[in-house]
Amino acid sequence: MKKSKYSTVIIGSGIAGLYTALKLAENCRLGIPAQQKILLITKSVLGESNSYYAQGGMVAVLKDNKNDSVQSHVNDTLIAGAGLNDENAVKFISENSDKVIKDLLNFGVEFDRDDNGNFKLTKEAAHSVNRILHCGGDATGREIEIALVKSVKENKNIELRENTIAIDLLVENNTCKGLIVFGNNDYEQINSEVVILATGGLGQMYKYTTNPLGATGDGFAIAYRAGAKLRDMEFVQFHPTALAIDDSEHHNRFLISEAVRGEGAKLCDKNNYYYMKDYDKREELAPRDIVARANFSQMNKTNSDCVYLDATKLENPSKRFPTITKKCAQFGIDITKDLIPVAPAAHYFMGGIETNLNGETSIKNLFAIGECASTGLHGANRLASNSLLECAVCAYKTAEYLKNNNSLYQCEREEFQSEHNVEVKNSDESLIEDLKSKLKTTMWQNVGIYRNEESLNKALKDIKQIEQEFNKPDYCANIGEYELRNMIIVAKLVIKSALQRKESRGAHYRTDFLQTDKIAKHSEFIK
Ligand code: FAD
Ligand code: SIN
């Protein structure tokens, strides 16, 4: 097997991966030997990620915003998180938002401003004040990704590899020493002092999702197989308003941002009944789990596969939401006149690889940042626009921690002796697609917005059947097979965690255990 050596390998080119690479590279001296370089690998093209599609924006508690405070943001985050947040993490991330936003400007990120040059701040569900920055109206992720990708490409200390999937970590004595990757139909062993997982979420494990194709939960499976500690694997967030029209090109559903409700849009059913007042006094701006359940219930009550978002009363919605306007128009919907058909879809994963605020996992020299990490910020239900903030603050902090801990970088360390001798096998692509589709259907039907013991056991049985048909526990033939292998592992973890939590809390709603326990406890998984 081919071998190489780097000081740090970062896996993923979403905002967490790109920004970590840039902040780490700031600390490198130019002209360092090749083996001390930072390598960033990504399984698709550079920048393709959940981050790219982020719409609503990024929370910023700006020092000069007299209407806001860290305490207010912390309170809103804790209320949404339903008792499972780590208050220190919430406070830390909120306190650092101003600094990180200003730093992102140095990398060419341009947040929308008013005519006086002040940042435009919007509101989303469960925020008590306007504190969300956005770019290009409703294309926040795309604009940030474009700026960071440009900076990364220009940086001589960062080497890039696209269409390369991380398969497994090399771990000895609970210390990560590198990883095995697969790309160009070949395997490579990469020895590295530090490995950083920035692999994003798992929305593609569900039939209906806002996430792009790559969100197959790889990082959770990779970390689990290596023996890292995972937690709160039952907490999948469903966004209330995905466009209820399948986008076959992208294999997902286009998001209609919560910011549209933040600016005043209302939800109604097919009978033109505006129902949110029946579900929560905060109506359209109740936390996301509540609005998602309300939409789902109203769809069931009216025997319909969607509800509707009415944005017709907004002032100039096409200017404020150009991307949404354009996408709806492709389906013949004029958002200034027509109701938009929407339905809930899997959107975000609150659980993941347990880390502290330096990004450290339970395995030495293995770090995790962004949606794949569980820092304690989100608890049982993420507050809108807190994810991009978490990616940025944790990337900044982890890079700073690595800079101050030179002992992690001992480039003379003994090389990992790999036992891996691998032969690339043939693949039956239609079988892989069929099994992925079966997995996504059972996850949607049985491990979705509502779940109970019977549905969860049914899903577990289905996944075991899929696993038997797949029958490739180790080496696979292509990226699609590796994804399926990971999806099977992670599906089992999500289902087992959901079975264990015999209460309803935040996004985890058990129809057979409606109560919320007095004491909030994390669920944990170690292989
Ligand atoms: P990602 O951006 O998902 O990046 C993961 C990267 O890892 C990808 O490049 C992927 O290809 C790569 N990867 C994965 N596995 C492997 C592997 N095995 N080997 C190699 N590479 C791998 N959050 C907000 O705060 N505000 C918003 O407005 C907002 N809007 C959203 C809108 C949509 C449609 C979606 C889907 C999400 C939105 N979110 C929003 C959530 C937010 O975008 C994500 O949580 C965040 O961007 C995650 O960033 P990340 O860098 O951790 O992961
Ligand atoms: C949205 O724009 O509705 C998504 C915001 C988020 O996921 O934080």
User: What pLDDT does residue 416 have?
Assistant: 59
Q: Give yes or no for residue 420 having a pLDDT over 60.
A: no
CA of 412 to the centre of ligand 2 (A): 45
CA of 352 to the centre of ligand 1 (A): 13
The arithmetic mean of pLDDT across residues 197-209, rounded, is: 98
Q: How confident is the model at residue 31 (pLDDT cuts 50, 70, 90)?
A: very low
Question: What's this model's pTM, rounded to 2 decimal places?
Answer: 0.96
What CA–CA distance (Å, rounded) separates 120 from 126?
Answer: 19
What CA–CA distance (Å, rounded) separates 78 from 406?
Answer: 35
Instruction: Assess whether the C-beta atom of 210 lies below 6 angstroms from ligand 2.
Output: no
The arithmetic mean of pLDDT across residues 16-43, rounded, is: 80
Output the ligand 1 site: residues, CB below 6 A.
11-17, 41-44, 48-51, 53-58, 140-141, 165-166, 198-201, 210-211, 214-215, 218-219, 255, 348, 370-371, 385-388, 391
What CA–CA distance (Å, rounded) separates 226 from 526?
Answer: 9
What CA–CA distance (Å, rounded) separates 310 from 307?
Answer: 10
Q: Give yes or no for residue 248 having a pLDDT over 50.
A: yes
Local structure of residue 477 (DSSP, 8 states)? S
User: What pLDDT does residue 330 have?
Assistant: 94
CB 335 within 8 A of CB 205: no
Q: What average pLDDT is seen over the chain?
A: 94
- CATH hierarchy code of domain 2-234+350-410: 3.50.50.60
Domain ranges of the chain: 2-234+350-410, 242-345, 429-525
What CA–CA distance (Å, rounded) separates 332 from 330?
Answer: 6
* Architecture category of domain 429-525 in CATH: Up-down Bundle (1.20)
How many other C-beta atoms are found inside a 10 Å radius of the C-beta of residue 74? 19
Question: Which atom of ligand 1 is the closest one to the Cα of 255?
Answer: 34
CA of 51 to the centre of ligand 1 (A): 4
Q: Which mutation among 18, 39, 51 tests ligand 1's pocket best, with the greatest number of atoms within 8 A of CB? A: 51
User: What pLDDT does residue 427 have?
Assistant: 79
What CA–CA distance (Å, rounded) separates 198 from 175?
Answer: 18
- 426-435 per-position pLDDT tens digit: 778 899 999 9
Q: Which mutation among 50, 237, 394, 481 tests ligand 1's pocket best, with the greatest number of atoms within 8 A of CB? A: 50
Task: Name the token pair of 155.
Answer: 């940086």
- 339-390 per-position pLDDT tens digit: 999 999 999 999 999 999 999 999 999 999 999 999 999 999 999 999 999 9
What CA–CA distance (Å, rounded) separates 319 from 137?
Answer: 7
In single-letter form, the type of residue at position 290 comes to I
CA of 387 to the centre of ligand 1 (A): 9
Q: How confident is the model at residue 30 (pLDDT cuts 50, 70, 90)?
A: very low
Q: Which mutation among 9, 180, 199, 324 tests ligand 1's pocket best, with the greatest number of atoms within 8 A of CB? A: 199
Q: 86 or 429, which is more confident?
A: 86
Annotated catalytic sites, by residue?
288
User: What pLDDT does residue 168 have?
Assistant: 96
- 33-58 per-position pLDDT tens digit: 545 789 999 999 999 999 999 999 99
Instruction: Assess whether the C-beta atom of 343 lies below 6 angstroms from ligand 2.
Output: no
- 254-302 per-position pLDDT tens digit: 999 999 999 999 999 999 999 999 999 999 999 999 999 999 999 999 9
How many other C-beta atoms are found inside a 10 Å radius of the C-beta of residue 338? 16
Q: Give yes or no for residue 485 having a pLDDT over 60.
A: yes
CA of 215 to the centre of ligand 1 (A): 7
Domain topology for 242-345: Flavocytochrome C3; Chain A, domain 1 (3.90.700)
Instruction: For Cα atoms 123, 53, 169, give the angle at the middle one, nearest 5 degrees.
Output: 120
